[in-house]
Amino acid sequence: MTDEVVRALWESGLMTWSNPAEAGGVEPTFAELIETWIELAWQDGSLGWIGIANLPSAAAAAAYLPDEGFAEVFTGHGNHTTVGGQFFPNGMGETVEGGYRITGAWNFGSGTGHSEYVAAGFIPTVDGEMALGEDGMPPLLVAIIPREEIVFADGWHVQGLKGTGSYDYNVSDLFVPASRTFPLFTRDPQRGSAAIYKMGLIPITAAGHAAWALGVAKSMIDDVTEIAATKVRMGDEASLANRASFQRGLSHHLSMWRAARLLVIDAFGTAEAEVAGGAEMSPELRADLRIAATYATEASREIVEWAHLAAGTSAIREGNRIERAFRDMYTGTQHVFIGERTYIDAARIRLGLTEDQFGF
C-alpha cells in the first residue's frame, strides 16, 4: 500500500476499528466485519486483503498479549500500531530465561510492508527438543516482533494482490520476551468483551477470506454490468446487455453471490451467538465456518471467471479494474486456508470419523 492509502486507513479509524476497546477499537460483530471487508475488497483486491490481514492481526495481538506486551506494543504507541505477518508456526523458539530465542523463515507476510510489528508463529523447544503440552502436542505460539528486528527476503513480485506487501521474512536466534508472545489457538482474551475474541484466530481468518472473495466478485459483477450497457461484441448488432446468454449468466451469478454471502453471514452469526451465550466453539461450529468460507471463495472464483469471459477484450488491458480483480482472485484463492481439504476435514467431523481436526 502507498503511504497515502495507509494514512487514509488510519484517518478513517479502520486500523483500530476491530481492536478491543482498550486498544482503541469498537469490538465489531462478525456481520459488521464481513460487510466492511466486502466493501474494502470491492474497492480493490489488495486493499481488501490488507483489511483481512492487518486488522485481525492487530486485534489478535491486542486481545491475547500479556499485559506487559500489550503495554509495550499498543499503549506505548498510543494504540497507533499496525501488525502484519504470518501466524503459521514456521519457526522454532528455544526457551530461555524471560522468553525465547527464535529462528525461522515465513512466507507471505501480508501487510508487513507498512507494519510496525510483525507476527511470527513458532514452536517452543527446550534444550533443542520440542516442548510438549499436557495433551502431548507442542504448544504453538505467536511472537510479535518489532519491524527493525525482522530480515525481509524479497520484494513480492507476483501475479496478483501486488499492493499487499506480503513479503517473505526471517529471524535468526532472535530473543523475544514471553510478554510479546501468545498461544496461536487461544480463545481466552486478556482484553475485549465481544464474542469474536472468545472464538480465536481461526474464525476471524475464515470470515476474512470469505468476505474478501465476495468483495472482489461483487466488483466484477458490478463492472461487467456497467460495461454490458455499451459494449458491442464483434458481429453483434446490439450491446452485450441484450444478449440472452449474458442476461442468464448475470442472473445466475448474482444469485450465486447473494446465496454465498447469506451462507457466510448465517454461519458466522450463528457461531457468534452461541459463544456470546456462553457456549464453547465446538468442532461442528468451527467446521461450519471453514466450509462456509471455502464455498464462498469457490463461488466467487466462478463468478469472476464468468465476468472476465463476458467482458471480452475489455477485461485484458493492464490497469483495467476487471483485469486486476481477475488476477487478484486467482492469486488469493491459492491460499491453503480455503483449499478443498477443508471440505474433507469438515465432513469427517460430521460423519463421526474424528472428534476434531487440528487447526480447525
Q: Would you say residue 359 has pLDDT above 80?
A: no
Helix (H) or strand (E) run with residue 172 in it: strand 167-177
Q: Using alpha carbons, select from 94, 118, 103 the residue that is nearest to residue 178.
A: 94
Banded pLDDT at 319 (limits 50, 70, 90):
confident
Query: What is the mean predicted confidence (pLDDT) over 28-36?
Result: 98
82 closest CA partner among 61, 101, 103, 100:
61
- Residues 191 and 22 sit within 8 Å (Cβ to Cβ): yes
Identify the weakest region by mean pLDDT among 240-244, 257-261, 337-341: 337-341
The predicted pLDDT at position 261 comes to: 98
Question: Contact at 8 Å (CB) between 110 and 50?
Answer: yes
Q: How distant is the alpha carbon of residue 218 from its chain centre?
A: 18
What are the pLDDT digits (tens) for 165-204?
A: 999 999 999 999 999 999 999 999 999 999 999 999 999 9
Buried-state track 37-64, b at ≥16 Cβ within 10 A, e below 16: bbebbbebbbbbbbbbbbbbbbbbbbbb
Q: Are 332 and 273 in contact (CB under 8 A)?
A: no
User: What does the pLDDT read at residue 25?
Assistant: 98
Q: What is the DSSP letter of 235?
A: T
Residue with cell 476499528: 17
Tens digits of residue pLDDT in 203-212 = 999 999 999 9
pLDDT at 137 over 90: no
Q: Are the C-beta atoms of residues 92 and 121 closer than 8 Å to each other? A: no
Closest CA to 209 of 113, 323, 305, 342: 342
Q: Is the pLDDT of residue 86 over 90?
A: yes
In this prediction, residues 93-98 reach a mean pLDDT of 97
Per-residue model confidence (pLDDT) at position 256? 98
Report, as an integer, the average pLDDT of 243-257.
96
Q: Which pLDDT value is given to residue 356?
A: 87
Q: What is the mean pLDDT of the chain?
A: 94
**What is the band of 245 on the pLDDT scale with cuts at 50, 70, 90?**
very high
Cell numbers given for 148: 527493525
Q: Which residues contact 183 (CB under 8 A, 6 or more apart)?
A: 64, 139, 140, 141, 142
Lowest model confidence (mean pLDDT) among 42-56, 208-222, 241-255, 333-347 = 333-347
E-assigned strands of 60-140?
83-96, 99-109, 117-126, 129-130
Q: How confident is the model at residue 190, as a pLDDT?
A: 97
Give, rounded to a whole angstrom, the gap between the first and last alpha carbons of the chain. 31
- Find the mean pLDDT for residues 2-13: 95
Task: Kindly give the interhelix angle for 30-43 and 201-228, rounded to the nearest 10 degrees.
Answer: 40
Query: Does pTM surpass 0.85?
Result: yes
143 closest CA partner among 105, 186, 183, 196:
183
Residues in the chain, total: 360
pLDDT confidence of residue 70: 98
Ramachandran area for residue 176 (φ above 0: left; ψ -120 to 50: alpha; else beta): beta
DSSP symbol at 333: T
Q: Is the pLDDT of residue 115 over 80?
A: yes
Q: What is the pLDDT of residues 251-283, one digit of tens each?
A: 999 999 999 999 999 999 999 999 999 999 899
- The stretch 7-33 carries a mean pLDDT of 97
DSSP 8-class letter at 233: -
Please state, in angstroms and rounded to a whole number, the distance separating the CA atoms of residues 51 and 101.
31
The pLDDT, as a whole number, for residue 283 is 92
| H or E element in which residue 225 lies | helix 201-228
Supply the pLDDT for residue 220. Answer: 97
Q: Which residues contact 92 (CB under 8 A, 6 or more apart)?
A: 102, 103, 104, 122, 123, 124, 125
pLDDT, greater one: 260 or 235? 260
pLDDT of residue 236: 78
Q: What is the mean pLDDT of residues 59-73?
A: 98
